[in-house]
Structure 1
Amino acid sequence: MTDFSSAGSGAGRPDSAGTRRERSGHWLQGSALLIIIAVLAIFAVLSPIFLTVGNLGNVLQQTAVTGTLAFGLTLVMIAGGNNSLTGGIDLSLAANLGLSAAVFATQLSQGASVAMAIVYALLSGAALGLFNAFAVVWLRILPLLATLTSMNIAIGLEMVVTQNSTVPVSGPLFDLLLGAGPLTLPWLAWGFMLLALVFIVLAHFTPFGLRLQAVGSHRLAARANGLAVSRYIAASYLLCGLASGIAALGSVTVLSGSSPGANDNLLMVIASVLLGVVFSRRLVPTIGGTLISALFLSLIANGFQLINVSSYWINGVEGVLILLVVSLASLLRQRQQRRKVRV
């Protein structure tokens, strides 16, 4: 371990560099929070019902689907590291949602029990996640290409299952999930918050989550310490697929069935994870940051609807936010790496 106590005039350099890194991270986080507060304040002024409990419950309910998908993608990106080309990514999770929702809805329409339909939906999501794990870990295909392939497979299978048509469903379970619970919030919103807590604990407070972070941040060191790196990466893809299956239950509930076009959620999911990076001290994906970002993006979409602005603007706003945050995070990481080299 290097001792800087006797480094003469350079003794303060590591501390000052660390201070500058912290200030850069705090500046990015502070700016992001100010932007969020400013946007929410504008919508609150333009629409009196924006900050009402009923509308916030509606936002939580709408976030349940994309937020759950984003939690799964966050695990993949935690395990895969920061490299945007060779690191962890799953482009198939939104298409996997559509396939799992189709399986769930068609099973119900064919007379299966709700419990069995849920099992089939979860197995469908996990199966595609396992396929991604096999392609990435054992066949060593770049995650970008492997999951792009599985995305097309999922889209094709969804069309086969549903004949590219809507499959409507109804029942007491869906009425219950959409009904008001404590504080007049829908039970689906409460379920989503409980699921967020489960993912936070799993990713950040369990040995599995800490090892997953070690695999993504320090892969060589993790392997040298005896961690089965490949298994943890595979587990992240499997859990991401399972998250797609869980999200399918929320999607069918909100839409009252399975509808084509689930892959349209992909941009918002990726935006949620990338924006969530700014809420991490080390500029890495976290479940908490992803949750905040997913809620923020849903609030933007909701605010646009309330003030009668075309929904076509939403994708443009998401694209600009992704570009801005990725650029700033990349710049800060480069500065951190240069300072470490100089130290």
Structure 2
Amino acid sequence: MSVDVEGLGPGFASAKRSVVSRGSKARLATASLRYGALATFAAVVVVFSLTAPFFLTPFNIGNILGQSAITGILAIGLTVVVIAGGPNVVTGGIDMSLAANMGLSAAVYAAMLRAGYSDGLAIVGALGVGLAIGAVNAAAVALIGIIPLLATLAVMNVVSGLELVLTENTVIPASSDILSMLSTSSFFGVPALGTVFLVVAFFIGLLVQRTRFGLRLYATGEFPEAARAAGLNIKLYVALAFLISGLCGGLAGILNTAYLSGSSTGSGEMLLPVVVIALLGSVFSRRLVPTIGGTLLSALFIGIILNGFQLLNLSSTLVSGLQGGLILLTVSATTLIRRQS
């Protein structure tokens, strides 16, 4: 059955044409942003291939994967939270405690090894710390109802203080068989750290993008009222997202200990790259929504830029400025397109 919209009056027909026009513009803008991001990715690779020595060698490509592993895994955890909480960076999903989580987990892992505990117990301790921090965030946001930005910011300060107390603001050295394997081994030319990153991205990607759990996670973040009306427990899925994020923080702490042969001070400096990777990942997806695959591409993109700057002996402060610019550009572009939609 068809409806003659012109017969309903000129106002209705004009409104319909306006909606269709805005929808077409939004789809065009979305496609332009996505393919523009992919073209920029390719252009950066070409430029560094021509200007930076040894950039495209197998060793350096593996090095990029290894260097991207820690921030990439943290960004995957943040992406899960953004999916469950919605893309609004003020009232939606955000976990500001991830970098501090990694720092405390690394400190606990190194301290337990130094105290004589086995590798297995130290790993359980680090992952347990990460999970506990995720549980605190989950309780604050899902049960108490605090805005995620404020809740995780408060948790970040508490966790950073605990790390300073445990480490006394010094590096705790650590060594073990597993740490040696993670820092020196490679699989098919890919460093062990990079391999762990790819494995984590693969399995969390399957969980989020290919299961009912992931579909409900997206529904919770993008259409909370509809999800609630459909009988979904919104608070449960938000809490589970923070628990996954916490586990990513604990795992990143173990990898960071392997990378640095001990704990690290000033882990909060990693927060900006993690946020950049998670937010930038949305422009590599079809609908400008956060995805695990997009976060993987985003982590490699930032890793390539950082590696290229290092090979060209350019100041690392330029990377920080570029990361801030990428956040501003991504948030502005996606906000405008969503508003048009």
- Tell whether the structures are fold-level matches, with TM greater than 0.5: yes
Q: CA deviation at 1:4?
A: 6.6
Question: Aligned to 2:221, which of 209, 216, 236?
Answer: 216
**CA 1:46–1:4 in 2, change beyond 3 Å: closer, same or farther?**
farther
Label 1:54 to 1:133 Cα distance change in 2 as closer, same or farther (>3 A): same
Contact 2:53–2:311 (CA under 8 A) maintained in structure 1: no
Establish whether residue 97 from structure 1 lines up as the match of residue 102 from structure 2.
Answer: yes
How far off its partner does 1:130 sit? Answer: 0.6
- Using the alignment, how far apart are the partners of 2:145 and 2:25 within structure 1? 38
Q: Does 1:125 align with 2:130?
A: yes
How far the C-alpha of 1:16 sits from its partner, in A, is 5.4
SS at match of 2:93: coil
Inter-partner Cα distance in structure 1 for 2:39 and 2:74: 26
Deviation per CA, 1:152-186: give whole Å up to 9, x if none: 11110001111111011122222222334333221
Instruction: Tell me which of 157, 162, 166 is aligned to 1:161.
Output: 166
Q: How many residues align?
A: 334
Matched, 1:65 2:65: no
Distance across 2 between alignment mates of 1:260 and 1:4 = 67
175, 181, 189: which one pairs with 2:186? 181
Q: 2:215 is aligned with what amino acid?
A: L
**Cα deviation 1:176-211 (Å, max 9, x = unaligned):** 223343332212211211111011111111111110
Correspondence for 1:51 among 45, 56, 63: 56
Is residue 2:106 matched to residue 1:108?
A: no
Q: Which residue of 1 aligns with 2:88?
A: 83
Tell me which amino acid in the other structure corresponds to 2:96: L
Corresponding position of 1:7: 5
- Correspondence 1:306 to 2:304: no
1:235 alignment partner AA: L
Q: 1:317 aligns with which of 317, 322, 325?
A: 322
Deviates more, 1:257-266 or 1:81-90: 81-90
State how far apart, in whole Å, the 2-side matches of 1:79 and 1:182 are: 34
Report Cα offsets for 1:57-96 as digits up to 9, x if no partner: 1111111100000011001100111222211111001001
Per-residue CA deviations over 1:238-279 (Å, capped at 9, x if unaligned) read 111111001111111111110101111100000001111112
Matched AA of 2:326: L
Cα pair distance change 1:4/1:190, threshold 3 Å? farther
What's 2:27 paired with?
A: 22
Kept after mapping to 1: 8 A contact 2:98/2:249: yes
The CA RMSD measured in Å over matched residues stands at 1.6
Greater shift, 171-180 or 306-315, is seen at 171-180
Give how far 1:5 is off. 5.2
Residue number in structure 2 paired with 1:138: 143
Residue aligning to 1:36: 41
Query: Structure 1 CA distance, aligned partners of 2:222 and 2:247?
Result: 24
**CA drift at 1:140:** 1.3
Question: Which AA in structure 2 matches 1:62?
Answer: Q
Counterpart for residue 328 of structure 1: 333
Whole-angstrom CA distance in 2 between matches of 1:25 and 1:282: 7
**SS at structure 2 position matched to 1:50:** coil
Within 1, Cα distance between the matches of 2:223 and 2:308? 41
Structure 2 stretches lacking a partner, 5+ long: 7-12
- AA partner of residue 55 (structure 1): N
CA contact (8 A) 2:23 2:340 kept: no
The superposition leaves residues 35-76 of structure 1 with CA deviations (integer Å, 9 ceiling, x where unpaired) of 222222211111131111111111111111000000110011
Q: Which amino acid aligns with 1:6?
A: D
Distance 2:21 2:241 in 1: 37
Counterpart position of 2:9: none
Report the equivalent of 1:341.
none
What SS does structure 2 have at the residue aligned with 1:257? coil
User: TM-score by structure 2 length?
Assistant: 0.94
Instruction: Report percent identity of matched pairs.
Output: 47
Distance 1:4 1:240 in 2: 49
CA distance in 1, matches of 2:247, 2:187: 28
SS of residue paired to 1:168: coil
d(CA) in 2 for partners of 1:204 and 1:26? 20
Cα distance in 2, alignment partners of residues 5 and 61 from structure 1 = 59
TM-score, normalization by structure 1: 0.93
- Superposition map of 1:286-305 within 5 A: 286-305=291-310
Q: Which residue of 2 aligns with 1:267?
A: 272
**Which of 165-174 and 196-205 deviates more?**
165-174
Q: Distance in 2 between matches of 1:211 and 1:115?
A: 34
